[in-house]
Every structure is written in structure tokens, then in C-alpha cells.
Chain A
Amino acid sequence: MEQAINVAFVGMSVVFIILILIAFLISLLSFFIKEIPQRWKHKKST
């Protein structure tokens, strides 16, 4: 029983960690995709 609880806890934690990681990296990726072209344009115009 204890092993089952451990597996459930580990499993749920891993699912959360991976999805949080994906969410974080998507946000980062979106930020760069939006920001870099804008900064590039700004740099060119100045």
C-alpha cells in the first residue's frame, strides 16, 4: 500500500513538473519570438 502511495505521489509530481517545464519554456519561447523581431526592427531604425 505504501508503495502504491509512493508511486502515485511520484507519478503525479512528474506529470506536474514536466507540464510546468513545458509551460515555462513555451512562455520563454513566445517571449523571444515576439521580442527579438521588435528589437531587431528598433535597432535597424536607430
Chain B
Amino acid sequence: MITAFLETMKGLFLQSGFVQGYWGQYLMIIVACILIYLAIVKKYEPLLLLPISFGMLLANLPLGRLSSYDEGGLIFYLYQGVKLGIYPPLIFLGIGSMTDFGPLIANPKSLLLGAAAQLGIFITFIGAVLLQYTFKEAASIGIIGGADGPTAIFLTSKLAPHLLGPVAIAAYSYMALVPIIQPPIMRLLTTQKEREVVMEQLRPVSKLEKVIFPIFVTILVSFLIPAAAPLVGMLMFGNLLKESGVVERINNTAKNELINIITIFLGVSVGATASAQNFLNPKALGIIVLGLIAFSVGTAGGVLLGKLMYWTSGGKVNPLIGSAGVSAVPMAARVSQKVGQQANPGNFLLMHAMGPNVAGVIGSAIAAGVLLSIFGK
């Protein structure tokens, strides 16, 4: 009887994940646990990082068959919303319903900072082509520099679906790590005097302006770059729900339940694309490195244009708001505020940084539309 018991236990052990797993899965489980730690303890974008890192953990459980590519499982079906490009516009709807474009309307020049921060996308595109990625792959990698997860997923699902996992992980991880990545670049490119600049208060924006803005931007951008219409259209639709003030129930759903549900689906299924066999290869690891470069160059582009605006305005613009031109709403704007306040405790840059921040969302969606119209044929 004892022999039978031992045989059964041995059989169970041999069939367990401890024996069936391999080093790559264990390594990815450790990475997932580090990201879970950062989300819970350090509170780095926990809304995104926690679902992504737990999805990563699930995908790497030996014999679990819980990755987004394992047909038939729950996560496989959730992943179809990513693959078919359904979740990103829905996330944009929710973001639009939460976003106040007032600071942007009050200071339209901040749109320039949102444009400059897209530099990372195109510089990284060139870098990726140099490293022998195809044009479509390079475009998908470059878009990480837009610091906009939904946009990165949208573009990659159209141009290079096989890279969706690494691109999405890189985009969301770096978005979560904005408070670590951006401040050294911001300090490196600005002087103490520039960081101390206190900006004038923004003018109040009328309701009429706020209502016309989303309709106007949707028409203009969709006519000029039709490929950007799904993202910009849904972003502006969400914003119109908010600003019109006549559909409070729908607006509440869009900014609460809808975006929360989609964030769970998107986060877990994107995290679950990072199985060891998909992730631990030179091409995927290259994307992680290039993504960091894209993010850093985007931040630098925004800050450098901010410096130019500082000089041309006679020192009225604090260059730190430029870094918020990479999307990552509102984290990047909070970083501008924090770094500005470290230089001058009386400095309140948050509202000034929100202008470039929301401009970055529009800018990265336009950049994705441009790349899609060039390579999407």
C-alpha cells in the first residue's frame, strides 16, 4: 500500500508544473512577481500594471495553457478584443469621458509640445529599421514612444500582430514607469532656473468652446487622416458625452464601468501574451530596449521644444511641461508637477502640463494614423 502511495505521489510530482516547466517560465514568473510588487507596493500605475503582470504570471504557469495564444481558454477569447482592435477605441471612449481639454483650449500652443513629444516614435522607427526589423514592425515598435498603450495596441494589431505581446508589454510597462524614466531626462535637459519658472494662470474656458472642440477635432482629423478616425473619433465622442452635460448616465458608464471592464480584459490578455516562448527571444527583447529609447527620445523632444518656447516667450514657459507631451495621462503631467515643485515649492504646473498631456494623446493617435496610412495597405 505504501509503495502504491509513493508511486502515485511520484506520478503526481512528475506531472506537476515543477517538473514540466522550464527555466524561461520560471524567469517570466519572477519578472511577473517583480511587476506585481511594483504595482502593489510602489503603486506604479497599478490599474494597468497589476492586470498585466498577473496575466503574465498566468501565461507562464507550466501546463496552465492560460496564455492568450492557447485556443479555447477564457484568456484566448478575451484576447480577441485586442487582436481585432476593439478594446483600444473603447478605452479611448472612456479616456475621452474623463479628460478635460480645457487647459489645451486655453493654451493651444501646448499642442506643439504634444507634437514634439512624438519625436520618439519616428526616431525609434529609424533605429528599428537599422536593426533589421521590417517597416511594419519598426512602425509598431516606434509607436511605443507615443506612451499610449491603446494606440500602440491598435497600430500593432493592424501592422505586426505577431509583435503584439512585446509591444503592448513594453508600452504599458514604460507608461507605468514614467515616474522613474522621465525625471532624469527632464533634469538633464533643463537648468534650475528653467525648472523654477512659475507660469501664469490659464484663462477660464467656456462651455461652448468645450462642446465644439470634440466635434471640430473629430471632423478635422478624420478628414485629414482617416486611419486615425477610430481612435480620435471615440476619444472625442467620450469627451462630448462629458462636456455636453445631457447624457450623465452614459458618461458615467463610459468613465467608470466600461473603461474598468475593458481595462481588466485588456490588461490580463495583453499580459498573457508574454509567455516565455514568445517573450524570451532576441526580437522581443530588442523591442523592450527600443521601447525605452522611444520613450526617452519622446520625453526629450517635448522638453527641448519646451526650452525653445521658454526662450521665445522670454522665460514665461516652464520647459518641464514639455515632457507631458508623451501621452501617459495623467501620470506624465503629474511628473512635470512633481519635478517642477522640487525645483520651486511654490510651482503648480499640473494644469499647464495637462495641455501637452492631452495633446500627446491626439498627437500619438495622429502619428498612428499616419503610419497606418503609409504601411497599412
Contact = CB atoms under 8 A, between A and B. Distances in A.
Interface of A: 1, 3-5, 7-12, 14-16, 18-27, 29-30, 33-34
Contact of B374 (A7, A12, A19, A25): A7
Interface in B53-110: 104-105, 108-109
A4 B130 CA distance: 9
Interface residues of B, number: 40
A1 B111 contact: no
Contact of B111 (A4, A12, A22): A22
B141 interface: no
A19 B138 contact: no
Residue among B115, B125, B374 with the highest chain A CB neighbour number at 10 A = B115
B23 to A, nearest CB: 36
B115 A11 contact: no
Contacts of B33: none
A-side interface mostly? helix
A30 B209 contact: yes
Contacts of A4: 125-126, 129-130, 135, 138
B343 interface: no
Given A11-B374, A12-B122, A33-B208, A19 B359 contact: yes
Interface string B108-127: 11011011101101110110
Given A4-B129, A11-B367, A30-B105, A22 B217 contact: yes
B206 A33 contact: yes
B109 A15 contact: no
A26 B105 contact: yes
Contact of B366 (A1, A3, A18, A23): A18
Interface stretch (B165-173, B219-227, B241-249): B219-227
Contacts of B109: 23
B108 A5 contact: no
A-B complex: 7 closest residue pairs judged by Cβ atoms: A8-B122, A23-B108, A4-B129, A23-B111, A19-B115, A19-B111, A26-B108
A7 B112 contact: no
Given A12-B122, A15-B118, A23 B112 contact: yes
Given A4-B129, A20-B112, A26-B108, A11 B363 contact: no
Nearest to B121: A11
A29 to B, nearest CB: 6
A19 B129 contact: no
Residue among A8, A22, A23, A26 with the highest chain B CB neighbour number at 10 A = A22
Residue among A1, A15, A26, A33 with the highest chain B CB neighbour number at 10 A = A15
Interface string B289-313: 0000000000000000000000000
